[in-house]
Amino acid sequence: MIRFPNPGSDIPSFIRIFQTLYTYLSDKSWFNLDDISGTMTSMNLAASSGHVGEQALALSTREDRSRDPLYNQSKMYAELFRTLGWMVSDDPDAALKFRFTLLGDHAAAADVDPRAIFEESVLGINYPNRILAIKGTEASRVFSAILRTASRLEGYTCRDEIILGVLNRDDIGDDAIDNIVTAVCSLRGSSARLTRAISDMSAQIGIQINTMQNYTRFPLAVLTYCGWFEKERTNRFYPGGRPVVMFKMTSYGRQRAEELDRAADIRLSQYESQPTEKQKALIRLGFYFMLQRANFDISPAIAQVAADQGVLRKDISDREVIFSPYQTIRPEIADNALGNTQAFRDGETDEKVAEMPQVYNVHVAVQQVTTIRLKQIASEEASTTTGSEIERKIAMHIKQKLSDREIAQSLFREYRTATKEVFYPLVADLFTILGFTCHASRTGINYERWDAIAVDDAYSIPIEIKSPTEELFISVKAVRQALENKIILLSRRSYATDWDTATLAVGYNTPNDRAEVSRLIADIKATFNVKIGIIDFLSLLTIATAAVRGDCGIHIGEIRQMEGLINVESV
């Protein structure tokens, strides 16, 4: 049976603990479980005997380390971080000495919204691999198998079905997923049959039922955190007993299942059967595609990606690769293919990340953030609308019972390759949904230097827009152009505004180098007394969705006074 450690089922806290460990331990060439325990207690992230901090560590420490609560908790965290590919044992023969991987560097960098890189990391989990020594013999990409089988099972699954159908079965082979579906279908219709099957499995593998079920706490938390499933208590599938907690697929979950069905899923045996040239191409394609799906900018590596796709054309055709090297093979092999040399490991993380083609500076500090808090709306129905195309799309998704996050992510993906001819009017329409009178400027109209304008009798806002085909990440160039827009608007007086009203830059993703952008915004404020707000497309979609759903706090005043990057929160 595939087993997941159980240090807790609060995924946001789990990610926060990793990022804290990274902050304090990434400058070490290696670290151990005591370093992890010491960091967690010093930051009040772990408790023992009702205490936190140094007292907790003192009360927990035992001469017999196997009886040390914090030591064992740190061991479970480390095992899960290794499973996600974020950490690795520094030496295959020294399993309790660790270092962070390049994938872990990116997980630590995604401190504003780590959900996407976490999602890609759990989908990257596959067995067998060269990272973990496990007791089971199953060959499975666990979370992919859960999604793909549930999509064929009316969009439902439950804990015991996952134990019987996924954690104790292979998913490799043309008929593997169908065989899992058949096995689960043979259980449905009788609560007694499911209970008997779980009891038989327990006896067969020699693991108590409660222990088997405890191994699923982390996976079940993943299903809802990633937005793939919602919980529903029902006896529809297992009549004759108490209602069962079923996991019902969301539209986003179905979308991911379809993507996984289409992808080229490369496992360890397939990788190791390839010649060296193709192995290196698989490492790079797998890693870069993973980062791209997690919203990282891979444009500096596009030439290499194209070359590797050519090398693997006969093997994968035009399909996207699912292969996570830091969760499948030894990291030194992955590092070599990606040009990530160990020379950077001795306290030079900043330099190392800056050298990589998929750069993402892990030590960023956002000096200005404007937080927009969205109200939780009880109603899931949107009023009938005859507005813009994007407003009708949002309303349609709301009627399909999608959450704000699911709607925003779906539309975010849909417009991933939008040109400025599509993207500029789309952004103007989204601001109109928020209550602004906004229109995109016409091409060739010289006196309208800005890309869009939110018109007001006294507080008009010029908007600089960058479509994803122009730049995936909002750059310092967009910030400078936003400043120019404000100065030109004030000098030409084509629309009424004042110095205190913000000027905006809107783009597909938040800035790749947020520290540099924040410094420039601060310098502009100090020199010109101009407020510059940065809004990424996903955040704009989220606010607009809340507005269509019926959120009365349209946030016009907050946006007019924006300074720095936007941060959207639900309250």
Residue (of 118, 377, 326, 323) closest to 228 by Cα position: 118
d(CA 338, CA 328) in angstroms, rounded, equals: 15
Query: Which residues of the chain fall short of a pLDDT of 70?
Result: 43-69, 90-95, 111-112, 341-386, 443-448, 551-554, 569-571
Please report, as a single letter, which amino acid is at residue 176. A
3-state secondary structure 348-412: CHHHHHHHCCCCCCCCCCCCCEEEEEECCCCCCCCCCCCCCHHHHHHHHHHHCCCCHHHHHHHHH
Token pair for residue 394? 């949002």
Query: Strand pairing of 461-466 and 503-507?
Result: parallel
pLDDT, residue 320, reads 87
Residue identified by tokens 């290196």 is: 280
Q: What would the pLDDT profile of 5-18 be if each residue is shown by its tens digit?
A: 888 788 998 998 99
Q: What would the pLDDT profile of 367-415 be if each residue is shown by its tens digit?
A: 466 666 665 554 445 555 557 899 999 999 999 888 888 899 899 989 9
Would you call 157 helix, strand, or coil by DSSP? Answer: strand
Sign of torsion over alpha carbons 397, 398, 404, 405: negative
pLDDT, residue 554, reads 60
- Please tell me the number of Cα atoms within 13 Å of 529 on its side-chain side: 4
The domain spans of the chain are 1-100, 140-261, 262-355, 369-570
For 493, other C-beta atoms within 10 Å of its C-beta total: 8
pLDDT, residue 64, reads 57
Radius of gyration (Cα) for the chain, nearest Å?
25
Residue (of 95, 67, 68) closest to 79 by Cα position: 95
What is the fold, at CATH topology level, of the domain defined by 369-570?
Trna Endonuclease; Chain: A, domain 1 (3.40.1350)
* CB contact at 8 A, 538 and 412: yes
pLDDT, residue 337, reads 95
Please report, as a single letter, which amino acid is at residue 469. T
d(CA 509, CA 113) in angstroms, rounded, equals: 12
* CB contact at 8 A, 108 and 100: yes
* CB contact at 8 A, 412 and 537: yes
Number of H helices, E strands in the chain: 26, 17
Q: What strands lie across the sheet with 87-91, from one edge to the other?
A: 31-32, 94-100, 87-91
Listed in sequence order, the residues at least 6 apart from 153 whose beta carbon sits closer than 8 Å to its beta carbon are 161, 181, 184, 185
b/e string for 34-47 if b means 16 or more Cβ within 10 A? bbbbbbbbbbeebb
pLDDT, residue 38, reads 84
pLDDT, residue 111, reads 65
